[in-house]
Protein backbone atom coordinates (compact mmCIF):
# COMPACT_ATOMS: atom_id res chain seq x y z
CA UNK A 1 0.00 0.00 0.00
CA UNK A 2 1.02 3.58 -0.56
CA UNK A 3 2.19 5.32 2.61
CA UNK A 4 0.22 8.52 2.05
CA UNK A 5 1.86 10.39 4.90
CA UNK A 6 5.37 9.61 3.62
CA UNK A 7 4.34 10.41 0.06
CA UNK A 8 3.01 13.80 1.10
CA UNK A 9 6.17 14.64 3.00
CA UNK A 10 8.55 13.52 0.24
CA UNK A 11 6.47 15.35 -2.36
CA UNK A 12 6.58 18.57 -0.39
CA UNK A 13 10.35 18.36 0.17
CA UNK A 14 10.83 17.83 -3.59
CA UNK A 15 8.61 20.81 -4.39
CA UNK A 16 10.60 22.97 -1.99
CA UNK A 17 13.73 22.10 -3.97
CA UNK A 18 12.03 22.37 -7.36
CA UNK A 19 12.92 18.76 -7.98
CA UNK A 20 10.96 16.09 -9.76
CA UNK A 21 9.78 13.09 -7.78
CA UNK A 22 9.95 9.89 -9.80
CA UNK A 23 8.20 6.99 -8.08
CA UNK A 24 10.18 3.77 -8.37
CA UNK A 25 7.61 1.01 -8.75
CA UNK A 26 9.94 -1.97 -9.02
CA UNK A 27 8.76 -5.01 -7.05
CA UNK A 28 5.40 -3.30 -6.45
CA UNK A 29 2.09 -4.76 -7.54
CA UNK A 30 -0.01 -3.22 -10.27
CA UNK A 31 -2.58 -2.34 -7.60
CA UNK A 32 -0.01 -0.36 -5.64
CA UNK A 33 1.09 1.50 -8.75
CA UNK A 34 -2.52 2.20 -9.63
CA UNK A 35 -3.05 3.59 -6.15
CA UNK A 36 -0.18 6.03 -6.71
CA UNK A 37 -1.62 6.90 -10.09
CA UNK A 38 -5.00 7.68 -8.58
CA UNK A 39 -3.33 9.93 -6.03
CA UNK A 40 -2.13 12.01 -8.98
CA UNK A 41 1.38 10.61 -9.57
CA UNK A 42 2.09 9.76 -13.17
CA UNK A 43 5.89 9.50 -13.41
CA UNK A 44 7.12 6.01 -12.65
CA UNK A 45 10.41 4.15 -12.98
CA UNK A 46 11.33 0.48 -13.27
CA UNK A 47 14.78 -1.05 -13.27
CA UNK A 48 14.10 -4.04 -15.52
CA UNK A 49 12.81 -3.96 -19.08
CA UNK A 50 10.49 -6.96 -18.58
CA UNK A 51 8.83 -5.37 -15.57
CA UNK A 52 8.51 -2.06 -17.36
CA UNK A 53 6.75 -3.71 -20.30
CA UNK A 54 4.48 -5.77 -18.06
CA UNK A 55 3.37 -2.80 -15.95
CA UNK A 56 2.93 -0.49 -18.91
CA UNK A 57 0.58 -3.05 -20.44
CA UNK A 58 -1.72 -3.04 -17.40
CA UNK A 59 -1.74 0.64 -16.53
CA UNK A 60 -3.10 3.84 -18.11
CA UNK A 61 -1.44 5.27 -21.22
CA UNK A 62 -0.66 8.70 -19.88
CA UNK A 63 2.00 7.43 -17.45
CA UNK A 64 5.52 8.71 -18.04
CA UNK A 65 7.80 5.66 -17.78
CA UNK A 66 11.51 5.87 -16.97
CA UNK A 67 14.09 3.09 -17.06
CA UNK A 68 16.63 3.32 -14.23
CA UNK A 69 18.37 -0.05 -14.37
CA UNK A 70 20.96 -1.62 -16.61
CA UNK A 71 19.81 -1.84 -20.22
CA UNK A 72 21.02 -4.56 -22.57
CA UNK A 73 21.35 -3.56 -26.19
CA UNK A 74 19.08 -6.34 -27.41
CA UNK A 75 16.23 -4.93 -25.28
CA UNK A 76 16.46 -1.33 -26.45
CA UNK A 77 13.92 -1.88 -29.21
CA UNK A 78 11.18 -2.87 -26.78
CA UNK A 79 11.23 0.34 -24.79
CA UNK A 80 12.20 3.00 -27.34
CA UNK A 81 8.65 3.39 -28.69
CA UNK A 82 7.30 4.68 -25.38
CA UNK A 83 10.00 5.31 -22.77
CA UNK A 84 10.27 8.93 -21.58
CA UNK A 85 13.75 8.87 -20.07
CA UNK A 86 16.53 6.27 -19.88
CA UNK A 87 18.64 7.03 -16.80
CA UNK A 88 21.18 4.26 -17.20
CA UNK A 89 23.21 4.94 -20.32
CA UNK A 90 26.84 4.06 -19.68
CA UNK A 91 28.34 3.01 -22.98
CA UNK A 92 28.78 4.35 -26.48
CA UNK A 93 27.53 1.06 -27.95
CA UNK A 94 24.31 1.37 -25.97
CA UNK A 95 23.82 4.99 -27.05
CA UNK A 96 24.41 3.98 -30.62
CA UNK A 97 21.78 1.25 -30.38
CA UNK A 98 19.26 3.65 -28.79
CA UNK A 99 19.89 6.11 -31.61
CA UNK A 100 19.36 3.40 -34.22
CA UNK A 101 16.06 2.22 -32.74
CA UNK A 102 14.87 5.79 -32.15
CA UNK A 103 15.53 6.59 -35.78
CA UNK A 104 13.45 3.58 -36.82
CA UNK A 105 10.66 4.72 -34.54
CA UNK A 106 11.01 8.23 -35.95
CA UNK A 107 11.49 9.85 -32.57
CA UNK A 108 14.05 11.32 -30.21
CA UNK A 109 14.81 9.52 -26.95
CA UNK A 110 15.89 11.39 -23.83
CA UNK A 111 18.85 9.81 -22.02
CA UNK A 112 20.98 10.40 -18.95
CA UNK A 113 24.59 9.30 -18.64
CA UNK A 114 25.04 7.10 -15.58
CA UNK A 115 28.19 7.64 -13.53
CA UNK A 116 29.72 5.31 -10.99
CA UNK A 117 30.90 7.23 -7.94
CA UNK A 118 29.98 4.81 -5.13
CA UNK A 119 32.48 2.69 -3.23
CA UNK A 120 30.85 -0.62 -4.10
CA UNK A 121 32.18 -2.47 -7.10
CA UNK A 122 29.84 -2.19 -10.05
CA UNK A 123 30.00 -3.11 -13.69
CA UNK A 124 27.66 -0.26 -14.47
CA UNK A 125 28.17 3.45 -14.82
CA UNK A 126 30.89 5.52 -16.46
CA UNK A 127 33.98 5.89 -14.27
CA UNK A 128 34.63 9.63 -13.79
CA UNK A 129 38.23 9.37 -14.94
CA UNK A 130 37.00 8.00 -18.28
CA UNK A 131 34.80 11.00 -19.09
CA UNK A 132 37.12 12.48 -21.70
CA UNK A 133 37.39 9.22 -23.60
CA UNK A 134 33.64 8.78 -23.41
CA UNK A 135 33.00 12.25 -24.77
CA UNK A 136 35.47 11.91 -27.59
CA UNK A 137 33.96 8.56 -28.58
CA UNK A 138 30.55 10.18 -28.51
CA UNK A 139 31.56 12.34 -31.45
CA UNK A 140 32.18 9.22 -33.55
CA UNK A 141 28.56 7.99 -33.55
CA UNK A 142 25.25 9.23 -34.93
CA UNK A 143 23.24 10.98 -32.25
CA UNK A 144 20.48 12.65 -34.23
CA UNK A 145 17.76 10.69 -32.47
CA UNK A 146 18.96 10.91 -28.90
CA UNK A 147 19.05 13.81 -26.52
CA UNK A 148 21.42 13.68 -23.57
CA UNK A 149 19.50 15.50 -20.86
CA UNK A 150 21.87 15.12 -17.91
CA UNK A 151 23.38 12.51 -15.62
CA UNK A 152 22.37 9.90 -13.04
CA UNK A 153 24.24 8.34 -10.17
CA UNK A 154 23.91 6.46 -6.91
CA UNK A 155 25.74 7.00 -3.64
CA UNK A 156 27.29 4.19 -1.60
CA UNK A 157 25.11 2.05 0.65
CA UNK A 158 26.45 3.42 3.90
CA UNK A 159 25.30 5.10 7.11
CA UNK A 160 28.11 7.61 6.65
CA UNK A 161 26.26 10.76 5.61
CA UNK A 162 29.49 12.57 4.86
CA UNK A 163 30.51 9.92 2.39
CA UNK A 164 27.09 10.10 0.69
CA UNK A 165 27.28 13.87 0.57
CA UNK A 166 30.77 13.74 -0.95
CA UNK A 167 29.58 11.42 -3.69
CA UNK A 168 26.59 13.62 -4.52
CA UNK A 169 28.93 16.61 -4.65
CA UNK A 170 31.10 14.69 -7.09
CA UNK A 171 28.09 13.93 -9.30
CA UNK A 172 27.06 17.57 -9.20
CA UNK A 173 30.53 18.68 -10.25
CA UNK A 174 30.58 16.19 -13.14
CA UNK A 175 27.17 17.54 -14.17
CA UNK A 176 28.39 21.16 -14.06
CA UNK A 177 31.58 20.35 -15.94
CA UNK A 178 29.72 18.50 -18.72
CA UNK A 179 27.22 21.33 -19.01
CA UNK A 180 29.93 23.93 -19.25
CA UNK A 181 32.24 22.06 -21.60
CA UNK A 182 30.12 19.82 -23.78
CA UNK A 183 26.36 20.15 -23.41
CA UNK A 184 25.62 23.83 -23.48
CA UNK A 185 21.94 23.57 -24.44
CA UNK A 186 19.35 24.47 -21.82
CA UNK A 187 17.88 21.02 -21.96
CA UNK A 188 20.97 19.47 -20.38
CA UNK A 189 19.30 20.06 -17.04
CA UNK A 190 18.67 16.81 -15.19
CA UNK A 191 20.76 15.68 -12.24
CA UNK A 192 19.14 12.39 -11.19
CA UNK A 193 20.33 11.46 -7.71
CA UNK A 194 18.74 10.43 -4.43
CA UNK A 195 16.72 7.38 -3.34
CA UNK A 196 14.63 6.54 -0.25
CA UNK A 197 17.53 6.56 2.16
CA UNK A 198 19.41 9.59 0.86
CA UNK A 199 17.08 11.83 -1.15
CA UNK A 200 17.27 14.64 1.43
CA UNK A 201 21.06 14.81 1.14
CA UNK A 202 20.79 14.60 -2.66
CA UNK A 203 18.36 17.53 -2.79
CA UNK A 204 20.65 19.61 -0.60
CA UNK A 205 23.48 18.86 -3.03
CA UNK A 206 21.53 20.00 -6.08
CA UNK A 207 19.56 17.00 -7.31
CA UNK A 208 16.83 17.98 -9.79
CA UNK A 209 15.18 14.55 -9.81
CA UNK A 210 14.92 11.91 -7.08
CA UNK A 211 14.09 8.24 -7.65
CA UNK A 212 12.20 7.11 -4.57
CA UNK A 213 10.73 3.64 -4.17
CA UNK A 214 10.45 1.84 -0.85
CA UNK A 215 9.79 4.97 1.24
CA UNK A 216 6.53 5.58 -0.64
CA UNK A 217 5.01 2.28 0.44
CA UNK A 218 4.13 0.50 3.66
Ligand X SMILES: *Cc1c(COP(=O)(O)O)cnc(C)c1O
- Within positions 176 to 205, which residues make up the interface with ligand X, using CB under 6 A? 195-197
User: How do beta strands 64-67 and 43-46 pair?
Assistant: parallel
- Measured in whole angstroms, how far is the alpha carbon of residue 44 from the centre of its chain? 10
Nearest-angstrom CA–CA distance, 150 and 177: 11
- Binder to ligand X among 21, 83, 86, 212 (CB under 6 A)? 212
According to the binding rule CB under 6 A, does residue 153 interact with ligand X? no
Per-residue binder mask for ligand X (CB under 6 A), 97-136, x = binder: ----------------------------------------
- Binder to ligand X among 68, 95, 193, 201 (CB under 6 A)? 68
- Binder to ligand X among 69, 125, 150, 153 (CB under 6 A)? 69
Nearest-angstrom CA–CA distance, 169 and 165: 6
- Binder to ligand X among 26, 34, 42, 166 (CB under 6 A)? 26
According to the binding rule CB under 6 A, does residue 24 interact with ligand X? yes
According to the binding rule CB under 6 A, does residue 85 interact with ligand X? no
List the one residue out of 68, 69, 79, 84 whose CA is nearest residue 101. Answer: 79
Point out the residue whose Cβ comes nearest to ligand X: 213
Least CB distance to ligand X at residue 114 (A): 8
Stretch that binds ligand X, among 5-13, 30-38, 58-66, 210-218 (CB under 6 A): 210-218
Q: Which C-beta is closer to ligand X: that of 105 or that of 116? A: 116
Q: Is residue 196 within 8 Å of residue 154, measured between CB atoms?
A: no
Tell me the number of residues near ligand X by CB under 6 A. Answer: 14
List the one residue out of 145, 147, 146, 148 whose CA is nearest residue 103. Answer: 145
According to the binding rule CB under 6 A, does residue 47 interact with ligand X? yes
Interaction site with ligand X (CB under 6 A): 24, 26, 47, 68-69, 154, 195-197, 211-215
Amino acid sequence: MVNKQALKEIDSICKKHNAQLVAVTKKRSTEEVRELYELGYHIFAENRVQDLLAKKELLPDNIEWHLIGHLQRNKVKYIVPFVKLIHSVDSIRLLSEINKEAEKANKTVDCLLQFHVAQEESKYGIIPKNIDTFISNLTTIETNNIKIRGIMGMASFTEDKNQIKKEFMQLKSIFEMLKKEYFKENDFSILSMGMSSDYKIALEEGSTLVRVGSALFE
